[in-house]
Structure 1
Amino acid sequence: MLHIWQVSGEELATIPAKQLSSVKALKRSLQHLCGFSRFRQRLLHNGSALDDMSTLEGDADLQLVLLPFVHGSKQADELADAAGNGLVSVVEELLQRPLNPDSVDQNGETPLYRACLIDSADTARLLLEAGADKDLACGQHHLTALVVASGLGHLDTVRVLLQAGADQEMCCDGLCGSDQGADLLREAGIDEGRIEAICGPDGVTALGAAASHGHLDTMRLLLESKSYTALQALHV
Protein backbone atom coordinates (compact mmCIF):
# COMPACT_ATOMS: atom_id res chain seq x y z
CA MET A 1 0.00 0.00 0.00
CA LEU A 2 1.04 3.57 -0.67
CA HIS A 3 0.46 5.97 2.20
CA ILE A 4 0.33 9.61 1.07
CA TRP A 5 1.12 12.16 3.76
CA GLN A 6 0.61 15.91 3.70
CA VAL A 7 3.22 18.37 4.97
CA SER A 8 0.97 18.92 8.00
CA GLY A 9 1.52 15.29 9.01
CA GLU A 10 -2.03 14.22 8.16
CA GLU A 11 -2.57 11.20 5.94
CA LEU A 12 -4.26 12.18 2.68
CA ALA A 13 -4.83 8.78 1.10
CA THR A 14 -3.98 5.09 1.13
CA ILE A 15 -3.83 3.54 -2.33
CA PRO A 16 -2.81 0.04 -3.52
CA ALA A 17 0.34 0.42 -5.62
CA LYS A 18 -0.85 -2.23 -8.07
CA GLN A 19 -3.67 0.10 -9.19
CA LEU A 20 -1.16 2.63 -10.53
CA SER A 21 1.31 2.38 -13.38
CA SER A 22 3.54 5.31 -12.44
CA VAL A 23 4.06 8.35 -10.23
CA LYS A 24 2.24 10.40 -12.88
CA ALA A 25 -0.80 8.13 -12.55
CA LEU A 26 -0.69 8.55 -8.77
CA LYS A 27 -0.59 12.34 -9.07
CA ARG A 28 -3.59 12.27 -11.38
CA SER A 29 -5.50 10.17 -8.87
CA LEU A 30 -4.60 12.61 -6.08
CA GLN A 31 -5.80 15.68 -7.97
CA HIS A 32 -9.41 15.37 -6.83
CA LEU A 33 -8.23 15.03 -3.21
CA CYS A 34 -5.76 17.91 -3.06
CA GLY A 35 -7.23 20.19 -5.73
CA PHE A 36 -3.89 20.63 -7.51
CA SER A 37 -2.95 19.31 -10.95
CA ARG A 38 -0.07 16.85 -11.25
CA PHE A 39 2.19 19.68 -12.39
CA ARG A 40 2.01 21.34 -8.98
CA GLN A 41 2.52 18.15 -7.00
CA ARG A 42 5.82 16.73 -5.80
CA LEU A 43 5.93 13.30 -4.21
CA LEU A 44 8.89 12.64 -1.94
CA HIS A 45 10.20 9.27 -0.83
CA ASN A 46 12.82 9.40 1.91
CA GLY A 47 13.26 13.09 1.15
CA SER A 48 13.87 12.68 -2.60
CA ALA A 49 11.44 13.76 -5.31
CA LEU A 50 10.11 10.95 -7.50
CA ASP A 51 10.16 11.32 -11.27
CA ASP A 52 6.75 11.18 -12.96
CA MET A 53 7.73 8.13 -14.99
CA SER A 54 8.96 6.13 -11.99
CA THR A 55 7.07 2.93 -11.28
CA LEU A 56 5.43 2.20 -7.94
CA GLU A 57 5.94 -1.13 -6.24
CA GLY A 58 5.25 -2.50 -2.79
CA ASP A 59 4.57 -0.49 0.35
CA ALA A 60 5.83 3.06 0.80
CA ASP A 61 5.22 6.27 2.70
CA LEU A 62 5.21 9.26 0.37
CA GLN A 63 5.03 12.93 1.26
CA LEU A 64 2.99 15.24 -0.96
CA VAL A 65 4.27 18.79 -1.42
CA LEU A 66 2.10 21.33 -3.27
CA LEU A 67 4.00 24.04 -5.13
CA PRO A 68 2.96 27.65 -5.84
CA PHE A 69 3.15 29.00 -9.37
CA VAL A 70 6.31 30.69 -10.57
CA HIS A 71 5.30 34.12 -11.86
CA GLY A 72 6.93 36.53 -14.30
CA SER A 73 6.34 38.07 -17.71
CA LYS A 74 9.32 36.27 -19.22
CA GLN A 75 7.99 32.89 -18.10
CA ALA A 76 4.50 33.75 -19.38
CA ASP A 77 5.88 34.63 -22.82
CA GLU A 78 7.97 31.46 -22.85
CA LEU A 79 4.97 29.24 -22.13
CA ALA A 80 2.73 31.04 -24.62
CA ASP A 81 5.39 30.83 -27.35
CA ALA A 82 5.89 27.11 -26.75
CA ALA A 83 2.13 26.54 -26.90
CA GLY A 84 1.84 28.70 -30.00
CA ASN A 85 4.40 26.52 -31.76
CA GLY A 86 2.92 23.21 -30.66
CA LEU A 87 6.02 22.24 -28.66
CA VAL A 88 4.30 19.74 -26.39
CA SER A 89 7.42 18.52 -24.58
CA VAL A 90 8.52 22.10 -23.87
CA VAL A 91 5.05 23.00 -22.59
CA GLU A 92 5.19 19.95 -20.29
CA GLU A 93 8.57 21.06 -18.92
CA LEU A 94 7.39 24.64 -18.33
CA LEU A 95 4.20 23.51 -16.60
CA GLN A 96 6.35 21.38 -14.30
CA ARG A 97 8.19 24.45 -12.94
CA PRO A 98 5.21 25.08 -12.32
CA LEU A 99 3.94 27.97 -14.47
CA ASN A 100 0.35 29.18 -14.43
CA PRO A 101 -1.43 27.78 -17.53
CA ASP A 102 -3.61 30.92 -17.61
CA SER A 103 -0.73 33.40 -17.62
CA VAL A 104 -0.96 35.88 -20.50
CA ASP A 105 1.85 36.93 -22.80
CA GLN A 106 2.75 40.47 -23.86
CA ASN A 107 -0.19 40.43 -26.29
CA GLY A 108 -2.66 39.43 -23.60
CA GLU A 109 -3.05 35.90 -25.00
CA THR A 110 -3.08 32.72 -22.93
CA PRO A 111 -1.19 29.54 -23.89
CA LEU A 112 -4.52 27.79 -24.60
CA TYR A 113 -5.55 30.60 -26.94
CA ARG A 114 -2.20 30.33 -28.74
CA ALA A 115 -2.52 26.54 -29.04
CA CYS A 116 -5.95 26.92 -30.62
CA LEU A 117 -4.61 29.38 -33.19
CA ILE A 118 -2.48 26.59 -34.68
CA ASP A 119 -4.87 23.70 -33.94
CA SER A 120 -2.44 21.94 -31.60
CA ALA A 121 -4.84 19.56 -29.87
CA ASP A 122 -2.12 17.82 -27.84
CA THR A 123 -0.92 21.14 -26.45
CA ALA A 124 -4.47 22.23 -25.65
CA ARG A 125 -5.15 18.92 -23.90
CA LEU A 126 -2.01 19.30 -21.79
CA LEU A 127 -2.89 22.86 -20.76
CA LEU A 128 -6.40 21.81 -19.80
CA GLU A 129 -4.96 19.00 -17.68
CA ALA A 130 -2.85 21.64 -15.94
CA GLY A 131 -6.03 23.53 -15.06
CA ALA A 132 -6.24 26.11 -17.85
CA ASP A 133 -9.56 27.98 -17.82
CA LYS A 134 -11.36 26.64 -20.88
CA ASP A 135 -13.71 29.65 -21.01
CA LEU A 136 -11.28 32.50 -20.35
CA ALA A 137 -11.63 35.26 -22.96
CA CYS A 138 -8.41 37.02 -23.92
CA GLY A 139 -6.45 38.64 -26.72
CA GLN A 140 -7.11 41.78 -28.72
CA HIS A 141 -10.71 40.79 -29.46
CA HIS A 142 -11.42 39.21 -26.07
CA LEU A 143 -12.28 35.76 -27.45
CA THR A 144 -12.50 32.36 -25.81
CA ALA A 145 -10.39 29.46 -27.03
CA LEU A 146 -13.50 27.71 -28.39
CA VAL A 147 -14.60 30.75 -30.40
CA VAL A 148 -11.09 31.11 -31.84
CA ALA A 149 -10.80 27.43 -32.77
CA SER A 150 -14.32 27.38 -34.23
CA GLY A 151 -13.80 30.55 -36.25
CA LEU A 152 -10.65 29.07 -37.77
CA GLY A 153 -12.26 25.69 -38.44
CA HIS A 154 -9.75 23.88 -36.24
CA LEU A 155 -11.65 20.66 -35.63
CA ASP A 156 -9.09 18.92 -33.44
CA THR A 157 -8.89 21.66 -30.83
CA VAL A 158 -12.66 22.20 -30.98
CA ARG A 159 -13.10 18.51 -30.08
CA VAL A 160 -10.67 18.77 -27.17
CA LEU A 161 -12.42 21.86 -25.81
CA LEU A 162 -15.87 20.30 -26.14
CA GLN A 163 -14.67 17.18 -24.32
CA ALA A 164 -13.41 19.47 -21.55
CA GLY A 165 -16.86 21.07 -21.28
CA ALA A 166 -16.14 24.46 -22.84
CA ASP A 167 -19.16 26.79 -22.86
CA GLN A 168 -20.68 26.89 -26.34
CA GLU A 169 -23.22 29.55 -25.41
CA MET A 170 -20.66 32.13 -24.32
CA CYS A 171 -20.94 35.16 -26.60
CA CYS A 172 -17.80 37.13 -27.45
CA ASP A 173 -18.47 40.74 -28.39
CA GLY A 174 -15.07 41.20 -30.01
CA LEU A 175 -16.40 39.79 -33.28
CA CYS A 176 -19.55 40.46 -35.29
CA GLY A 177 -21.57 37.83 -37.10
CA SER A 178 -21.91 37.81 -40.88
CA ASP A 179 -24.86 37.49 -43.25
CA GLN A 180 -23.30 34.27 -44.55
CA GLY A 181 -23.23 32.90 -41.03
CA ALA A 182 -26.86 33.80 -40.40
CA ASP A 183 -27.89 32.13 -43.67
CA LEU A 184 -26.03 28.92 -42.77
CA LEU A 185 -27.68 28.85 -39.37
CA ARG A 186 -31.09 29.17 -41.02
CA GLU A 187 -30.22 26.28 -43.33
CA ALA A 188 -29.27 24.24 -40.28
CA GLY A 189 -32.72 24.79 -38.84
CA ILE A 190 -31.78 27.17 -36.03
CA ASP A 191 -34.75 29.20 -34.79
CA GLU A 192 -34.80 32.70 -36.24
CA GLY A 193 -35.10 34.16 -32.76
CA ARG A 194 -31.80 32.58 -31.71
CA ILE A 195 -29.73 33.51 -34.74
CA GLU A 196 -28.93 37.06 -33.65
CA ALA A 197 -27.75 35.81 -30.25
CA ILE A 198 -25.49 33.26 -31.96
CA CYS A 199 -24.24 35.32 -34.89
CA GLY A 200 -25.30 38.94 -34.56
CA PRO A 201 -23.87 42.45 -34.61
CA ASP A 202 -23.19 42.39 -30.87
CA GLY A 203 -21.08 39.25 -30.84
CA VAL A 204 -20.79 35.58 -31.73
CA THR A 205 -20.76 32.23 -30.01
CA ALA A 206 -18.53 29.37 -31.16
CA LEU A 207 -21.26 28.24 -33.57
CA GLY A 208 -21.65 31.78 -34.88
CA ALA A 209 -17.89 32.08 -35.45
CA ALA A 210 -17.82 28.81 -37.39
CA ALA A 211 -20.85 29.82 -39.47
CA SER A 212 -19.51 33.31 -40.20
CA HIS A 213 -16.39 31.80 -41.74
CA GLY A 214 -18.18 28.99 -43.56
CA HIS A 215 -16.65 26.10 -41.61
CA LEU A 216 -19.38 23.53 -42.12
CA ASP A 217 -17.53 20.61 -40.51
CA THR A 218 -17.02 22.67 -37.37
CA MET A 219 -20.67 23.72 -37.39
CA ARG A 220 -21.72 20.09 -37.61
CA LEU A 221 -19.45 19.12 -34.72
CA LEU A 222 -20.80 21.92 -32.53
CA LEU A 223 -24.41 21.18 -33.43
CA GLU A 224 -24.03 17.46 -32.80
CA SER A 225 -22.45 18.10 -29.41
CA LYS A 226 -25.54 20.12 -28.47
CA SER A 227 -27.82 17.30 -29.67
CA TYR A 228 -29.44 19.36 -32.40
CA THR A 229 -31.30 17.25 -34.94
CA ALA A 230 -31.77 19.71 -37.82
CA LEU A 231 -28.49 18.92 -39.57
CA GLN A 232 -29.67 17.58 -42.89
CA ALA A 233 -29.45 20.98 -44.58
CA LEU A 234 -25.71 21.20 -43.90
CA HIS A 235 -24.19 19.67 -47.01
CA VAL A 236 -21.02 18.25 -45.46
Structure 2
Amino acid sequence: MMLESVKLQCSKEVISICAMLSAPKCFRRPRGRQPQADQAKARYSDDRGDHLTLLRIFNAFIANQCSEDWCYVNFLSYRALQYADDVRNQLVNVMHQRLSIEVEGSDALFPLYPHCVLKALLAGSFMKLAFFRSDSTGLHRNAQKGYYVTVESQINFEKSGDGNHRYMLHPSSVLFKGKTYSCARPEWVLFNETIQHSEGGNQYLQTVSIIRPEWLLEVAPVYRSQISATSPEVDKRLREHENGTSLNGILR
Protein backbone atom coordinates (compact mmCIF):
# COMPACT_ATOMS: atom_id res chain seq x y z
CA MET A 1 0.00 0.00 0.00
CA MET A 2 2.66 2.51 1.04
CA LEU A 3 4.92 1.66 -1.90
CA GLU A 4 1.98 2.14 -4.27
CA SER A 5 1.17 5.48 -2.63
CA VAL A 6 4.73 6.65 -3.29
CA LYS A 7 4.42 5.57 -6.92
CA LEU A 8 1.12 7.46 -7.24
CA GLN A 9 2.49 10.49 -5.36
CA CYS A 10 -0.12 10.37 -2.61
CA SER A 11 1.78 8.92 0.36
CA LYS A 12 0.92 12.00 2.43
CA GLU A 13 -2.80 11.33 2.05
CA VAL A 14 -2.58 7.56 2.48
CA ILE A 15 -0.60 7.95 5.70
CA SER A 16 -3.25 10.32 7.04
CA ILE A 17 -6.03 7.85 6.21
CA CYS A 18 -4.13 4.96 7.81
CA ALA A 19 -3.66 7.06 10.93
CA MET A 20 -7.37 7.85 11.07
CA LEU A 21 -8.26 4.17 10.65
CA SER A 22 -5.99 3.26 13.57
CA ALA A 23 -7.58 5.85 15.86
CA PRO A 24 -10.81 5.47 17.85
CA LYS A 25 -13.99 6.55 16.07
CA CYS A 26 -13.88 10.32 15.66
CA PHE A 27 -17.60 11.04 15.17
CA ARG A 28 -19.77 12.04 18.13
CA ARG A 29 -23.58 11.78 18.13
CA PRO A 30 -24.69 12.98 21.58
CA ARG A 31 -28.21 12.09 22.60
CA GLY A 32 -30.69 14.75 21.60
CA ARG A 33 -28.31 16.33 19.09
CA GLN A 34 -28.03 13.60 16.47
CA PRO A 35 -29.47 15.77 13.64
CA GLN A 36 -26.90 18.50 14.30
CA ALA A 37 -24.11 15.92 14.45
CA ASP A 38 -25.22 14.42 11.14
CA GLN A 39 -25.29 17.86 9.52
CA ALA A 40 -21.78 18.57 10.77
CA LYS A 41 -20.53 15.27 9.34
CA ALA A 42 -22.22 16.00 6.01
CA ARG A 43 -20.12 19.16 5.62
CA TYR A 44 -17.00 17.02 5.30
CA SER A 45 -18.50 14.02 3.53
CA ASP A 46 -17.00 12.88 0.24
CA ASP A 47 -19.38 11.15 -2.15
CA ARG A 48 -16.66 8.63 -3.03
CA GLY A 49 -16.88 7.16 0.45
CA ASP A 50 -15.65 7.08 4.02
CA HIS A 51 -11.89 6.91 3.47
CA LEU A 52 -11.75 10.27 1.71
CA THR A 53 -14.23 11.65 4.23
CA LEU A 54 -11.80 10.75 7.02
CA LEU A 55 -9.02 12.43 5.04
CA ARG A 56 -11.04 15.63 4.67
CA ILE A 57 -11.79 15.68 8.40
CA PHE A 58 -8.15 15.13 9.34
CA ASN A 59 -6.96 17.85 6.95
CA ALA A 60 -9.56 20.24 8.38
CA PHE A 61 -8.38 19.41 11.91
CA ILE A 62 -4.80 20.29 10.96
CA ALA A 63 -5.91 23.42 9.08
CA ASN A 64 -7.70 24.58 12.24
CA GLN A 65 -4.51 24.23 14.32
CA CYS A 66 -5.75 21.02 15.99
CA SER A 67 -8.32 23.06 17.88
CA GLU A 68 -10.32 21.33 20.59
CA ASP A 69 -13.05 23.97 20.22
CA TRP A 70 -13.29 23.24 16.50
CA CYS A 71 -13.74 19.54 17.28
CA TYR A 72 -16.52 20.30 19.77
CA VAL A 73 -18.42 22.50 17.33
CA ASN A 74 -18.15 19.86 14.60
CA PHE A 75 -19.12 16.92 16.84
CA LEU A 76 -15.71 15.29 16.55
CA SER A 77 -13.58 13.59 19.17
CA TYR A 78 -10.55 15.73 19.95
CA ARG A 79 -8.75 12.78 21.53
CA ALA A 80 -9.32 10.57 18.49
CA LEU A 81 -7.98 13.20 16.09
CA GLN A 82 -5.05 13.95 18.37
CA TYR A 83 -4.26 10.23 18.43
CA ALA A 84 -4.43 10.08 14.62
CA ASP A 85 -2.05 13.04 14.37
CA ASP A 86 0.44 11.29 16.65
CA VAL A 87 0.23 8.07 14.64
CA ARG A 88 0.68 9.96 11.40
CA ASN A 89 3.82 11.66 12.69
CA GLN A 90 5.22 8.27 13.71
CA LEU A 91 4.50 6.82 10.26
CA VAL A 92 6.14 9.78 8.55
CA ASN A 93 9.24 9.32 10.70
CA VAL A 94 9.40 5.63 9.84
CA MET A 95 9.22 6.38 6.13
CA HIS A 96 11.87 9.09 6.40
CA GLN A 97 14.35 7.49 8.76
CA ARG A 98 14.00 3.76 8.16
CA LEU A 99 12.85 3.56 4.57
CA SER A 100 14.37 6.78 3.20
CA ILE A 101 11.10 7.55 1.44
CA GLU A 102 9.96 11.11 0.87
CA VAL A 103 6.37 11.70 1.92
CA GLU A 104 4.52 13.78 -0.64
CA GLY A 105 1.02 14.68 -1.70
CA SER A 106 -0.55 14.92 -5.13
CA ASP A 107 -2.70 18.04 -4.94
CA ALA A 108 -1.26 19.15 -8.28
CA LEU A 109 -2.78 16.06 -9.92
CA PHE A 110 -6.35 16.92 -8.95
CA PRO A 111 -8.92 15.73 -10.09
CA LEU A 112 -7.04 12.43 -10.54
CA TYR A 113 -5.78 12.70 -6.99
CA PRO A 114 -8.77 11.05 -5.21
CA HIS A 115 -8.53 8.06 -7.55
CA CYS A 116 -4.82 7.73 -6.82
CA VAL A 117 -5.49 7.59 -3.08
CA LEU A 118 -8.15 4.91 -3.48
CA LYS A 119 -5.92 2.90 -5.82
CA ALA A 120 -3.11 2.97 -3.27
CA LEU A 121 -5.47 1.78 -0.53
CA LEU A 122 -6.74 -0.94 -2.83
CA ALA A 123 -3.22 -2.21 -3.50
CA GLY A 124 -2.86 -3.33 0.10
CA SER A 125 -6.44 -4.45 0.76
CA PHE A 126 -7.46 -6.95 -1.93
CA MET A 127 -9.28 -9.17 0.58
CA LYS A 128 -11.29 -6.17 1.76
CA LEU A 129 -13.27 -5.86 -1.44
CA ALA A 130 -16.97 -6.57 -1.78
CA PHE A 131 -19.41 -6.48 -4.69
CA PHE A 132 -23.17 -6.01 -4.83
CA ARG A 133 -25.32 -8.98 -5.74
CA SER A 134 -28.99 -8.61 -6.62
CA ASP A 135 -31.36 -10.77 -4.60
CA SER A 136 -34.17 -11.88 -6.88
CA THR A 137 -35.35 -14.46 -4.33
CA GLY A 138 -36.19 -11.90 -1.67
CA LEU A 139 -34.75 -14.22 0.96
CA HIS A 140 -32.41 -11.59 2.34
CA ARG A 141 -35.21 -9.43 3.68
CA ASN A 142 -33.08 -6.85 5.44
CA ALA A 143 -31.51 -5.67 2.19
CA GLN A 144 -34.54 -6.59 -0.02
CA LYS A 145 -32.94 -5.51 -3.29
CA GLY A 146 -29.64 -7.26 -2.73
CA TYR A 147 -26.60 -7.59 -0.53
CA TYR A 148 -22.81 -7.40 -0.62
CA VAL A 149 -20.49 -10.38 -0.94
CA THR A 150 -16.82 -10.12 -0.02
CA VAL A 151 -14.20 -11.25 -2.51
CA GLU A 152 -12.75 -13.49 0.18
CA SER A 153 -15.99 -15.45 0.53
CA GLN A 154 -16.41 -15.54 -3.25
CA ILE A 155 -12.96 -17.08 -3.65
CA ASN A 156 -13.95 -19.64 -1.04
CA PHE A 157 -17.14 -20.27 -3.01
CA GLU A 158 -18.23 -23.15 -0.85
CA LYS A 159 -18.99 -20.53 1.84
CA SER A 160 -20.42 -17.78 -0.33
CA GLY A 161 -23.95 -19.17 -0.30
CA ASP A 162 -24.07 -19.02 3.48
CA GLY A 163 -26.17 -16.17 4.86
CA ASN A 164 -23.34 -15.40 7.26
CA HIS A 165 -21.44 -13.98 4.29
CA ARG A 166 -24.04 -11.46 3.19
CA TYR A 167 -23.41 -7.88 4.15
CA MET A 168 -25.04 -4.47 4.04
CA LEU A 169 -23.47 -1.04 4.17
CA HIS A 170 -23.30 0.21 7.74
CA PRO A 171 -25.72 3.10 8.44
CA SER A 172 -22.78 5.25 9.58
CA SER A 173 -21.27 5.20 6.08
CA VAL A 174 -21.63 8.28 3.88
CA LEU A 175 -22.62 5.83 1.12
CA PHE A 176 -25.61 4.52 3.08
CA LYS A 177 -28.80 5.73 1.40
CA GLY A 178 -31.45 3.98 3.45
CA LYS A 179 -32.54 0.58 4.67
CA THR A 180 -33.04 -0.77 1.15
CA TYR A 181 -31.02 -0.57 -2.05
CA SER A 182 -33.88 0.54 -4.26
CA CYS A 183 -31.81 3.64 -5.04
CA ALA A 184 -28.43 3.69 -6.77
CA ARG A 185 -25.81 1.73 -4.85
CA PRO A 186 -22.10 1.12 -5.43
CA GLU A 187 -21.36 -2.04 -7.38
CA TRP A 188 -17.88 -2.49 -5.88
CA VAL A 189 -16.56 -1.20 -2.56
CA LEU A 190 -13.42 -1.29 -0.46
CA PHE A 191 -14.15 -1.70 3.26
CA ASN A 192 -12.09 -1.49 6.42
CA GLU A 193 -13.88 -4.02 8.61
CA THR A 194 -16.98 -6.17 9.00
CA ILE A 195 -19.17 -6.04 12.08
CA GLN A 196 -22.22 -7.93 13.30
CA HIS A 197 -24.98 -6.41 15.37
CA SER A 198 -26.19 -8.49 18.27
CA GLU A 199 -29.81 -7.53 17.59
CA GLY A 200 -31.06 -9.32 14.50
CA GLY A 201 -27.62 -10.64 13.58
CA ASN A 202 -27.23 -8.23 10.65
CA GLN A 203 -23.73 -8.05 9.20
CA TYR A 204 -22.28 -4.81 7.91
CA LEU A 205 -19.34 -3.41 5.97
CA GLN A 206 -17.88 -0.44 7.84
CA THR A 207 -15.75 2.41 6.49
CA VAL A 208 -16.55 1.91 2.83
CA SER A 209 -15.46 3.56 -0.44
CA ILE A 210 -16.41 3.11 -4.08
CA ILE A 211 -13.79 1.49 -6.31
CA ARG A 212 -13.58 0.10 -9.83
CA PRO A 213 -12.56 -3.56 -10.17
CA GLU A 214 -10.38 -2.76 -13.19
CA TRP A 215 -8.11 -0.72 -10.92
CA LEU A 216 -6.74 -4.04 -9.72
CA LEU A 217 -5.18 -4.53 -13.14
CA GLU A 218 -3.01 -1.52 -12.37
CA VAL A 219 -2.17 -2.05 -8.70
CA ALA A 220 -2.52 -5.82 -8.17
CA PRO A 221 -2.71 -7.67 -11.52
CA VAL A 222 -1.88 -10.96 -9.80
CA TYR A 223 -5.50 -11.04 -8.54
CA ARG A 224 -7.06 -10.60 -11.98
CA SER A 225 -8.40 -14.17 -12.20
CA GLN A 226 -10.06 -14.02 -8.78
CA ILE A 227 -11.80 -10.75 -9.57
CA SER A 228 -12.96 -11.80 -13.05
CA ALA A 229 -14.47 -14.97 -11.54
CA THR A 230 -16.96 -12.96 -9.48
CA SER A 231 -19.28 -12.36 -12.45
CA PRO A 232 -19.37 -12.41 -16.28
CA GLU A 233 -19.98 -8.65 -16.28
CA VAL A 234 -16.82 -7.96 -14.30
CA ASP A 235 -14.81 -10.28 -16.51
CA LYS A 236 -16.07 -8.37 -19.55
CA ARG A 237 -15.10 -5.04 -17.98
CA LEU A 238 -11.61 -6.30 -17.26
CA ARG A 239 -11.18 -7.61 -20.81
CA GLU A 240 -12.35 -4.28 -22.24
CA HIS A 241 -9.96 -2.42 -19.97
CA GLU A 242 -7.08 -4.64 -21.04
CA ASN A 243 -7.96 -3.96 -24.66
CA GLY A 244 -7.97 -0.23 -24.06
CA THR A 245 -11.73 0.21 -24.40
CA SER A 246 -13.13 3.39 -22.89
CA LEU A 247 -15.28 2.48 -19.92
CA ASN A 248 -17.99 4.43 -18.20
CA GLY A 249 -17.25 4.15 -14.47
CA ILE A 250 -19.30 5.01 -11.44
CA LEU A 251 -16.75 7.52 -10.19
CA ARG A 252 -16.97 10.94 -11.76
| TM-score interval (norm. to shorter) | under 0.3
Indicate the structure whose relative CO is greater, using CA pairs within 8 Å and at least 6 residues apart.
2
More helix by share: 2
TM-score (norm 1): 0.28
Q: TM-score normalized by structure 2?
A: 0.26
Larger Rg: 1
